[in-house]
Homo-oligomer: A and B are copies of this chain.
Amino acid sequence: MSLIEADSPVDRPSRYNAARMPARLIEALATTEPLADLFSDESVLRAMLQFEVALAKAQAHVGVIPRSAARAIAAAQTRAFDVSRLAHDMLRAGTPAIPFVKALTQFVRRKDATAARFIHWGATSQDLADTALVLLLKQALPILAKDLTVLESSLRALSEKHKNTVMLGRTLLQPAPPITFGLKAANWLSSVRRSREKLESTFAEALVLQFGGASGTLASLGKNGPAVAHALAKEVGLDCPEAPWHTQRDRLASLICACGVLTGSLGKMARDIALMMQNEIAEVAEPAGGGRGGSSTMPHKRNPIACALTLAAANRMPNLVASFLSTMSPEHERGVGGWQAEWPTVAAVIQSTGVAAASMAETASGLWVDPERMRENLEATNGLIFAERAMMLLAPKIGRDAAHKILESAARKSVQEEKRIASVLAEMPDATKHLNAATLSRIESPEEYLGSAENFRKAQLVKKPVTKTMRKKER
């Protein structure tokens, strides 16, 4: 859901359609509207019908069934189905496919009894269910991609804008040497972009037709199997794989994993932002999106709603991935229990990925950043985070151990007396012997202790696959 929506939910240009929208309050926080639509009954029926219509067309094209039958089948509409009855029958049948085909047959038969004979010709339940799932996934990709594109460009812009905004590094939630917020944003971007690329390549590999008939041999089509398969693939707009994959779930599994990795990367960003939004830190704030409950004039009093939704998705995702992986060993040509568990898992994976991507896109594109507060938090350490720096300057001269002792003592004094570490050092002869006043005066300048931050930041804005050379080497 885009930022463009007006603050008040009352005013916003409504994008949802009560009649169409499949509300499911128990899962309202775990999806976005386009993806809730995608896995709605209407949409699932449409995908199943698309398969059967395309199958009839393909078989008519190859000459396996009469063209008139294909035409009659193609006239079927999703509204012809009694969804409640279908849901009931699917549970009884243990498969979504058989009841659907029965219902479709009944519908077509009323108009053309002959055509009804040729529905689902030579196909098996899993051909219908798997291909329908793939057709849904195909529609999911652009929905995800749209938000990811916004997210990436927003992060890039944030990174550029804040390339000189220094802030505390934090390790184990404790102060560490400074970074720039530009680097932090670039780090988020880098991981999100790699994960999105993997997402796209796994989608490309997984979005293939499933068509194998009862045992995966297309036996009942005789010699016509491959011809029908290719025509069918073309008709539904999918690639035709070298063989059916009813027992080989690895391509789907890789797609699911890629969603998992991406959502993990989005979760990292959400975690950081939620932590930086703490009242005591107050370095950034989510935008005050419509309905988000945050005051538009008090950015640092906003709740991390988009972060919460993203972290909720990131919390559920690892086990959704595991759930899919745990059914990769189906028995023989169709398993008992594994395949039957896939649909809810896949739907939850896609919707979780989607809600995380949309939330972080909205967040990144409107993130409120407070560079002054970042500097204040940094200053509040009284220079303690530069102790490492001072030690590195002393160490070559007096050894690391001795340097460590001096700095430890200086750090303790700095904390106890609430004095800056440079001032403390300036009073210690052991230190001033080796570090002159000019050096000491600059020790606490964060700008001078950023090392390769800008180097690393810029390198991550460029899409440059690091492993190219390695891959060549390895193969």
Contact = CB atoms under 8 A, between A and B. Distances in A.
Nearest to A407: B3
A473 to B, nearest CB: 9
Interface stretch (A146-154, A198-206, A434-442): A198-206
Contacts of A190: 242-243, 248
Contact of A216 (B4, B187, B221, B264): B187
A341 B28 CA distance: 10
Contacts of A257: 254, 257-258, 260-261, 321
A264 B293 contact: no
Given A23-B87, A195-B250, A268-B328, A408 B3 contact: yes
Interface stretch (A49-57, A274-282, A364-372, A422-430): A274-282
A175 interface: yes
Given A6-B408, A311-B329, A331-B170, A93 B215 contact: no
Q: Which of A29, A114, A337, A344 has the most CB of B within 10 A?
A: A337
Contacts of A321: 257, 318, 321-322, 325
Given A274-B337, A316-B344, A321-B322, 16 more contacts: A21-B87, A23-B41, A33-B91, A172-B303, A172-B334, A172-B335, A172-B336, A178-B217, A191-B247, A191-B248, A220-B389, A241-B466, A250-B264, A261-B328, A300-B415, A308-B340
Nearest to A408: B6
Main secondary structure of the interface of A (DSSP, over half): helix
A137 interface: no
Contact of A179 (B215, B316, B331, B380): B215
A250 B277 contact: no
A45 B215 CA distance: 46
A333 B170 CA distance: 5
Contact of A408 (B83, B295, B457): B295
A292 B94 contact: yes
13 contacts: A1-B91, A1-B98, A2-B176, A26-B39, A28-B91, A93-B293, A93-B305, A208-B466, A212-B456, A220-B451, A225-B451, A307-B336, A308-B337
A392 interface: yes
Contact of A25 (B45, B92, B267, B453): B45
Question: Taking each of A26, A183, A213, which has the highest tally of chain B beta carbons within 10 Å of its own beta carbon?
Answer: A26
Interface in A165-219: 169-179, 183, 186-187, 190-191, 194-195, 198, 200-201, 204-205, 207-208, 212-219
Nearest to A114: B399
Nearest to A103: B9
Interface in A155-169: 169
A68 interface: no
A62 interface: no
B333 A179 contact: yes
Contact of A319 (B241, B270, B319): B319
Interface string A67-96: 000000000000000111111111111111
Interface centre among A9, A313, A401 (most CB of B within 10 A): A9
B220 A460 contact: no
Contact of A23 (B84, B92, B207, B280): B84
Given A261-B328, A267-B329, A85 B16 contact: yes
Interface string A106-146: 00000001101111101111000000000000000000000
The 8 lowest CB-CB distance pairs between A and B, nearest first, are: A311-B337, A169-B215, A264-B328, A92-B291, A257-B257, A219-B451, A243-B456, A225-B452
A400 B117 contact: yes
A86 to B, nearest CB: 6
Contacts of A314: 328-329, 337
Interface string A264-290: 110110111011011111000000011
